Amino acid sequence: MKRHRRKNVCSQHSNDLCAKIEHKKISYQELQRATTDFCEGNLLGEGSYGSVYQRAIEILLESVSIMIDVALALEYLHDGQSEPVVHCDLKPSNVLLDEDMIAYVADFGIAKILAETKTATETNTLGTLGYIAPEYGSEGRVSTTGDIYSYGIMLLETFTRKKPTEEMFTDERSLRQWVSTWLPDEVMEVVDSGLLRTQNEGDMVATQSNLITILELGLECSTELVAERIQIKEVLGKLNKIKRQLLQNQSV
As beta bridge partners, residue 97 has 103
Integer Cα distance of 57 and 36 in angstroms: 10
Q: What is the CA radius of gyration of the chain?
A: 23
* Cβ–Cβ under 8 Å, residues 165 and 129: yes
Integer Cα distance of 157 and 200 in angstroms: 26
Which one of the listed residues 79, 89, 100, 185 is annotated catalytic? Answer: 89
Residue 203 catalytic? no
Could you list the active site residues?
Answer: 89
